Structure formats: structure tokens, C-alpha cells
A and B are shown apart, each in its own frame.
Chain A
Amino acid sequence: MQYADEFRDPAKARTLVEEISKLAALLAKARGRPLQVMEVCGGHTHTIFRYGLKAMLPEALEFVHGPGCPVCVLPMGRVDDCVALACNPKIIFTTFGDAMRVPGSKGSLLQAKAEGADVRMVYSPLDALKLARENPTREVVFFALGFETTMPSTALTVLQARREGIRNFSLFCNHITIIPTIKAILDSPELTLDGFLGPGHVSMVIGNRPYDFIAERYHRPIVVAGFEPLDILQSLWMLLKQMKEGRCEVENQYKRIVPEAGNAQALAAVAEVFELREFFEWRGLGSIDHSGVRMRAAFADYDAERKFGVPGLSIADPKSCQCGEVLKGVIKPHQCKVFGTSCTPERPLGALMVSSEGACAAYYRFGRIAIKPVETETVAS
């Protein structure tokens, strides 16, 4: 498959793994502990597990799976708000597939659908707008979520709706922004991270300059990485090389996609439609200042929160969940008290067990053998 297989060459991978192993051994020895690298983006977590990268890399190098799965960091209260909107008989509630299983305090959107709510899976906000065009007597709400990666497409869809004069379309806006979140992790007193793999898709929109503070103020190297397995290995090699040479810089491995200054057109659309919220709640991480966006007043007619009102409750995560500690890299997914026992992909307690990009689900689905041999009986469940 052109443009994909070039980035999956096992021979090149072996060479890179050898180089990484040498560098990691040196650096870990000097630090007296394994190196910890956080991949911020859930797409990277997925690649690491899908291609079995963890098994190829040395123990001197540990991955910390960051907060970059937008589905995983949705707080329970927001899911309850979604369910409340979806239960309004006037509304066709549209969402991306993997958001349908996220547990709220009263169940997921999938359960709401089974009980009669009109919830429909779409592949893009434009599909939701098409539904609005086709159903002029209904209200179509699109559950807008994701980082800067998906923000431009929802902004452009709202602008398109306004241009066409479509009035029965709105967003339930849960977009979040990555920089304050990385900052919150760097400010954590428990921080043990040695470097970052930067989120490639987000960077395609915002560029590389917003990460400068990571290198300058927090003295951690960061390499913006692509999503193919060779991208990840090359980025790791670049990161370790920086560490060996005592540099702390923002480097761009994903140059074929990520422009240094980002995408001006996408940023302009985002700025026109959205503004920062003072604070936004994250599952497991609590409230983070300026980490979410809402729609500007000029787009109130397209804002489901203003148009219909939502309960807006804040609901605490189940006490037994240690999602926050996993997200910050303090513990590994399998070290959580409820991992694989009361929290499984079948019955997720925490959101990290829901999406295939979630660290816990990825550990559970792809990586359990590497953690410990599993009894036959538990595998069958």
C-alpha cells in the first residue's frame, strides 16, 4: 500500500531499534533508572501496541501513555449531558463511533440508543450537517470533541451551516486544547518524564512553536512524531539523541505533514468560531484552566448548550479508578487497583478502558502477555 508500507519496513526498524537500545542503555545507566517518554497522543499509543513496538524496545525505555485520547478524558458529567440531549425527542444526536461506549453516571450513549434515543454514528461533522439538511423538522446536534486535530473541521462545518442558513444544526462543544494539559502534567510534583513524543495531528494545525516552553522552561526535549511505526522509532531515536547530546529542543520528525507555523486557514476558522473556556474538567485530571473551548456568542444559534440547556453536572470519577495517575505516568495501566478485574473493556469503570486509543484498553487488548501470563479461564471471558 503506497504511502504506508514505506513506513513499515522491518529492516529499517531493526536498525533503529539497535540505535535506540544503545542510547537508552547509556542514558538509563547515567540516570540510574529507566527513561520515561510520554507519547501525548492516543494515536501513538495505538501504533505502539498495534505494531508490537513495546516488545521490540529495551526495558531501559518506558512509554508513558499520555492524555491524548479525547474520548478517554471526557468527564462523566459531560457524557451525562450528551445522554440528556440525546433523550430529547426533538433531537437527532450524532457522534463519532468510539464516543458511544464512554460510561456516564447513568450509562453510555450506546445504552441511551438501545432505550430509544435517536443517536447516530457519523464519520465527520459534515455528515451531521447533511442529516440536518435531510431532516428539517428535527434538531441535529453534533457531539464535537477532540483536540486541535478535529476543531477546524467542526468550525468549518458551523461556518458552512451559517452560509447555507441551516438553523436546525448545532454543536455540543467539548473540544479541548493540548498545551494547557501538557503544562499541567509538567507542573505535577510527581513528574518523572524525560521527554515527549509530540502529537503529530494536533501539530499539523498549531505548528511547533507552541511547544517551545517545554524545552525552554521545563528543560524537556520533544519530537513531534508521525503515526506510522517507523515514525515513532525515528522520533524516539531523535529524542534520545537530544538527551545524549544534552540538548532540549522542539524537533519535527513529521515534516511531511507538520508545517512549522501550523495551518493558518484552519487556525483562522477555529478562532472565528471558538473561544477559550476559563476552565474545563478532564476525567482523571480534574479541572485545568483554559483547557477547553466553547462557541463564541456570535454562534449562539449553533451552540447546543445555549440552545437546549444541559444539566452541566460535575460528577466525581469512581473512587477506585486511578485514571489520573495513569494519565500522568505515575502508574502503569496494569498497576491500577481495578485493571482487568472490575474495570475491563466489557465493563469499563474508567474511560481509559473504553476507546481503542485509551492506554488501559490498549494494554488490556494488545499487551497483556507482556505484563504477565494470563490464565486460560480469564482470557475466555
Chain B
Amino acid sequence: MTSAVAGELSAELRGFREVQTLAYECAEAVAAQLKPGVTEREAARMQREWLRERGVRDWFHLPFAWFGDRTAFANFRIPLQFFPTNRRLEPGMPFILDMAPVYKGYTADIGYSGCLGLNPLHDKLLSDLEAHRELLLREVRERRTLREIYEDVDRLMVRQGYANRHRAYPFGVIAHKIDRVKERRRSPHVFGFGTQSLKGLASDAIHGHRDGWSPLWSPYKFSDHPPQPGLWAVEPHLGFRGTGAKFEEILVVTDSKDPEQSAFWLDDDLPHVRRWAEERAAA
């Protein structure tokens, strides 16, 4: 992925887009089936089964589901707390579905925020995420360092009155690189992460370390470099008291000189983007 073909997506990008679309379809299908009393584990299993039925055999990471105040990662200290629990969904509760399937050798990593019934606060968080999507793209195109962009996202969240919850992610990442994954007959996973994908990430980390960049987009010194060409799964995550919301989708970064082509979101036809468009139309 060293250059983007103007106007037309390369075959490779189409592959990534296909799996991202599939993942979002899964999220919407599962979200539509959620009702009071469903547990996080059941929701995670529903995602897994839905994708298995459609040919997914390997994972970057297994599907997650967070309900209620777990969407804001309240009191998350150790990574085990990311795994789905027996927390039951109640009316008005926000939820987040997060999955990263591998399909035909392509990976996606998506996050879907929803709510069971009405919750004006959750609506507010979701619509405030739009500014982050715009800010991320703009500053990546300006080729600011990843750390600077991270700090700007952080500042915007503080201004909006929110807490930055991706800080609770491993290494506090807001994004990580994703790549193609070799298809193997067996696809074992450790701690919820597919071994093939982890291998890819690890080799990126080794190469990057030599060249001075990192496949993890964090607030730390190792992210003090301009965006590296490739595919980044970006996941800004807002937390506000007991409510959290995020989106996660793929940002394509290229080495093109044309700012428009140097970075773009892989797909603009996603649930959260459609939602913002509808809000604007209604306003």
C-alpha cells in the first residue's frame, strides 16, 4: 500500500472494506437482537456465531461486549476486565460491541456503540464523536506526529467535558496498525487475540523499532513520529461518568503528496457516519 489509485480502490483495499462492512453488519444484526436480560457473554457469543456462519475463521481479537458503566471502562485496571462478563442489559443501558474478524486474509477491527431504548446522554456522546473523526483525519493529513494528534484528541475530549477512555486500553492506544493475515488451517488464539495477527503486529513493532516508528498509536514517546503509511484501526473512546461511547474503523494512510489521497477513511458508509448525516438533515 504505497500509493492510492485516485478515485478507485485497489483490490486490496476492497478486501479490507468488505470485511469491515461485514463486521458492521454483524454489529447491527446483533444490536437489533439485544433485549433486557442478555448478558455480555451472550452478546459476544452472538457476534462470534454470526461471523462464523459467514465464513470467518480467524480473529485479530475475539468479539467483546460491554454493557452499562463498563462502556466507560469504569475502574478497569487489568486487561482481563475487558473480557465479557455476566452483566445483564437493562432498558436505557448503553452498550459497545467490538470485534476484529479476519476474512479471506483481510482484517477489520470495529467498534459499535448503541443503547437499549432512549438515553439522551448517550446520544450526546455519540454525536460529539463526529468532531473527533474530523480532527483525526485533518491532522493526519497535516502529517502531525501521532503523539501530537493524540494530545489534540485528548484536549478536545477535555473541552467537551469527557474523560479519555482509550487510556485504559493496553499502552493507552487510540489506534493500532492492521494488516493482511495469512490464512492457516488452524487459527489458535491467546487471551482473545489471534496468534497470526499478533505475529503481524509483533513483526511491525520490530521493523518499526528499527526505523523509528511504532504500530501502536499512543501518548508515549514511541509515537512521536508522523503517521506511517498503512491501515490504522482508530478508536477514540469517550467516557462520561457511567456512560461510554466510541467508534472504531480503518483509516488509510498513504505516502501520496496529494493531501486528499494521503489519508482517508476506508469507508464512509458506516452506521455512525450515517447517523451524523441524518442528524444534520433533521436539524
Is chain B a partner of chain A in the same complex? no
Q: B-side interface residues toward A, CB under 8 Å?
A: none
